[in-house]
Structure 1
Amino acid sequence: MAGAGSRVFISHLSGLPVFDPNGDQVGRVRDVVVSLRIGGRPPRVLGLVVEVIGRRRIFLPMTRVTSLESGQVLATGVINLRRFEQRPSETLVLAELLDRTVVRTKTGEEVTVLDVAMVQARLREWEIRKVFVQVGRVGRLRKARGESLTLDWSELTGFSLTEEGQGAANLLATFEQLRPADLANVMHHLSAKRRAEVAAALDDDRLADVLEELPEDDQVEIIGKLKEERAADVLEAMDPDDAADLLSDLPAEDAERLLRLMEPEDAASVRRLLSYEEDTAGGLMTTEPIVLEPDATVAEALARVRIAENKPALAAQVYVCRPPNETPTGKYLGTVHFQRLLREPPFTLVGSLVDDDLDPLPPDTPLPLVTSYLAAYNLVAAPVVDEADHLVGAVTVDDVLDHLLPEDWREASLHAAESETVHG
């Protein structure tokens, strides 16, 4: 641990690995817990919120932190793995202080909090003493024009007004490298107001990715607070099967209104999915598999597989069909696994490589049979074909898992397994 007077900006702690006394990584820092005090006194740093395996969040007291140097956090003693529960007297720095609009006492001007720094007062005791601000308000994802400066905590007022004037730009900048599932975890632990602000600041594609990782209740809450035109844009950016699942959780009239605002092609795919029973191949499938005509080459197929936006399960094989290439396609001919593509010369036509030994799944195939099909043939995806031999979609193993797990599995993974927990 650095000596007294050492200064650490809180945003620099986000994501740092935390190690126990044996050198084993416990998790990563997700926030810092402080206690605000009256009379302009610097807040006392109580500890760190650490995300451990399973996305559970625990509380690590500052008295257990021995070092904050070299891009890592070292802890001593036995680490309490009980789930962190924020108390009313506590404030989370990243979630609740960054982007707040406060007032500079000396001049009366509004400033926006970009970061805060904690200073070591004595051994293992830290306080928030410095605040890095920008003069003026910071708008949605845009910086206000004005100088940036570092002020003492005592030079500012307005921190006690919970979430008033708090934007989301700097919080998002702090977590911009997070995977969608991890950002979903962050948003799930925010207040409803703060969650709505962060959702409003995310671009459509990023918000779509995050929504797919959130529990149903959070999805419904967020989509319900967006303007309808934007909600429709976000639904278009989601995978059709995920968009259909979300719309099915909304009141019928609300879902229909959003479908009418979506682009006709996107809405048609979602409507088609909504027409199937939820626990069938048709209800589970995505309508956007990789489809090629039989005269396409192996080189073309591999180029399609390499597209970064393709999820791994969908990129595992291509589906060979007569035109049209959008689902529902022309006559379905068969599949070609990407491993077969890797073994063939690039000029080979995929029509000569199709595997048509396995019967495709009808849209009304129930979930247990879909599961057995994937397990029996060691597949991560399977074609779904209607009575007219048109490919209408593909069901992937991740979609099946979503429906095999308990309905609240996302909520459980975010909250962890323990039910009655408090932190010490």
Structure 2
Amino acid sequence: MSATRVFVARLAGCAVFDPAGDRVGKVRDVLVVYRNADAPRVVGLIVEIPGKRRVFVSIGRVTSVSAGQVITTGLINVRRFEQRGGEVRVIAEMLGRRVLFADRSGEAIVEDVAIGEDASGDWQVTQLFVRRPRTGASPFAKGATAFVTWNEVRESAAVGEAQSAEQLIATYSEMKPADLANTLLDLPEERRHEVAEELSDDRLADVLEEMPESDQVEIIGRLDDDRAADVLDQMQPDDAADLIAQLPEARGEHLLELMEPEEADDVRMLLSYGPDTAGGLMTTEPIIVSADATVAEGLALIRRHELAPALGAAVCVTLPPYEPPTGRFLGMVHFQRMLRYPPHERLGTLLDQGLEPVTTDASAAEVSRILASYNLVSVPVVDDNHRLVGVVTIDDILDYLLPDDWRSHTDDDHHGKRAAARSQLKTGSIPVQSIQNGRRSARGTRNEN
């Protein structure tokens, strides 16, 4: 090993490479087992490999931990990780736990855990980075911190008791929404809801958009109505509509009444269309400009940080008003085309004359064929009066084409399904059935080979 002490919170998200330098995944957690009076022993890493599959990598297969990366022998068992009795995930279950000082000087919260290799080559917990409770009344005051050994503290609760949700959120603060969604789904149900309660409205909205609908419904169902409405306000209208459609009708209508009127109107409009039509799949928040807007103005709108990449690939040009449903739709101007013209060029002169919009009742199959045939990432949607009401983006179509539980499947699981989807996309037959993914229980000792 090239490192003698590593802090676990800094390992989260680190790339894992094989000896040839090829990336095989990224670290999600460290797995330890408790021993009587001795510090917990590290048994391995939980690594996410392509396909969002979590696998176990024995610590004996790790040859180097340095400069934010982990090097392994390359021999990784790709069977899905299943936590077993006696095993504890450091990030998910230890960080944020309360501990009592052995000298009876008080308690503290575990903010990080250091693991290290001893003389015999075994890895174990070497130190805890802890913070005492704050002493001042100011909300900005922080308690004193300290490095302690395992023997200098004892846990104030039984193993497995929920850790601080705030600490878990801080640990995962830099995660992308899709990665955080997967991490939350790995947590016990009660812990998941504790973390959801602590997340900000916009962060929780981003995370919910990356979850299967059944899990969205479960989490939103545990929030009080005012909080749930605030989170729905932050979601993309099409995602919010899909979620509300899964709720009991009475609660869905109540949440719509609590939402901001403009957001609720967009969601109600989307709910009025069939789920397998362009109207049901579209988002109502494309970039909309007038024909007199310049290339510079269009590029400035695309640069907005919160804008989804698919929506930033083109701007829609319409007559006033410029909120859906707009005035008459004139056309789209693609991002790459704008780059070829000077900043003062009017967007009305750069319209893509070959792209025809679809109507709200166009089928998902028709929209998918247009996106595939013309290599597009979005297609405009108009009503019977040729007013722009939204755009269907490539991610909307992919969410529709893939099975309901696609987020929990691996690349191998989907290899055949993708081939079938391509065939069905060409013929216009779209798969809508849900494929259930069963769980198997793990028994016996962990196989490190």
TM-score (norm 1): 0.92
Equivalent-residue separation in structure 1 for 2:148 and 2:237 (angstroms): 49
Partner in structure 2 of residue 106 of structure 1: 103
SS at match of 2:178: helix
Q: CA RMSD in A?
A: 2.4
CA shift for structure 1 position 178: 1.8
Describe how 1:348-359 pairs up with structure 2 within 5 A.
Answer: 348-359=345-356
CA shift for structure 1 position 179: 1.5
1:193 paired with 2:173, answer: no
TM-score (norm 2): 0.87
1:12 paired with 2:10, answer: yes
SS at match of 1:130: strand
Letter in 1 for 2:274: E
Letter in 2 for 1:13: L
CA shift for structure 1 position 170: 2.9
CA shift for structure 1 position 133: 1.0
Moved more, 392-401 or 219-228: 219-228
Asked if structure 2 preserves the Cα contact closer than 8 Å seen for 1:295 and 1:351, the reply is yes
Equivalent-residue separation in structure 2 for 1:144 and 1:48 (angstroms): 35
Letter in 1 for 2:286: P
Equivalent-residue separation in structure 2 for 1:191 and 1:103 (angstroms): 25
CA shift for structure 1 position 137: 7.8
Equivalent-residue separation in structure 2 for 1:136 and 1:69 (angstroms): 32
Residue number among 289, 294, 312 corresponding to 1:292 in the alignment: 289
Residue number among 22, 40, 51 corresponding to 2:20 in the alignment: 22
CA shift for structure 1 position 346: 2.1
Asked if structure 1 preserves the Cα contact closer than 8 Å seen for 2:310 and 2:378, the reply is yes
Unmatched 5+ stretches in structure 1: none
Equivalent-residue separation in structure 2 for 1:320 and 1:173 (angstroms): 42
CA shift for structure 1 position 362: 0.9
Asked if structure 2 preserves the Cα contact closer than 8 Å seen for 1:233 and 1:262, the reply is yes
SS at match of 2:216: helix
Moved more, 196-205 or 82-91: 196-205
Moved more, 129-138 or 62-71: 129-138
Residue number among 163, 166, 185 corresponding to 1:166 in the alignment: 163
Letter in 1 for 2:379: A
Equivalent-residue separation in structure 2 for 1:145 and 1:391 (angstroms): 53
- After superposition, what is the alpha-carbon deviation per residue over 1:255-292, rounded to whole angstroms, capped at 9, x for unaligned? 11211111000011011111111110000000001111
Partner in structure 1 of residue 52 of structure 2: 55
Equivalent-residue separation in structure 1 for 2:15 and 2:155 (angstroms): 32
1:399 paired with 2:400, answer: no
CA shift for structure 1 position 110: 2.6
- Call closer, same or farther: CA 1:63–1:319 in 2, change over 3 Å: same
- Call closer, same or farther: CA 1:67–1:374 in 2, change over 3 Å: closer
CA shift for structure 1 position 399: 0.4
Asked if structure 1 preserves the Cα contact closer than 8 Å seen for 2:162 and 2:191, the reply is no
CA shift for structure 1 position 165: 5.5
Partner in structure 2 of residue 88 of structure 1: 85
Describe how 1:268-279 pairs up with structure 2 within 5 A.
Answer: 268-279=265-276
SS at match of 1:28: strand
Letter in 2 for 1:314: L
1:214 paired with 2:226, answer: no
Residue number among 248, 251, 254 corresponding to 1:251 in the alignment: 248
Partner in structure 2 of residue 304 of structure 1: 301
Equivalent-residue separation in structure 1 for 2:261 and 2:386 (angstroms): 24
Letter in 1 for 2:68: G
Letter in 1 for 2:20: N
Percentage of matched positions with identical amino acids: 51
- After superposition, what is the alpha-carbon deviation per residue over 1:158-193, rounded to whole angstroms, capped at 9, x for unaligned? 365245462123322322222111111211211112
Moved more, 129-138 or 75-84: 129-138
Report the number of matched residues: 418
- Call closer, same or farther: CA 1:7–1:378 in 2, change over 3 Å: closer
Equivalent-residue separation in structure 1 for 2:331 and 2:373 (angstroms): 18
- Call closer, same or farther: CA 1:91–1:416 in 2, change over 3 Å: farther
Structure 1 stretches (4+) deviating beyond 4 angstroms? 413-423
SS at match of 1:327: coil
Partner in structure 1 of residue 325 of structure 2: 328
SS at match of 2:30: strand
Structure with more contact order per residue of length (Cα contacts < 8 Å, sep ≥ 6): 1
Asked if structure 2 preserves the Cα contact closer than 8 Å seen for 1:185 and 1:414, the reply is no
- Call closer, same or farther: CA 1:410–1:2 in 2, change over 3 Å: closer
SS at match of 2:325: coil
Asked if structure 1 preserves the Cα contact closer than 8 Å seen for 2:26 and 2:47, the reply is yes
Equivalent-residue separation in structure 2 for 1:414 and 1:211 (angstroms): 22
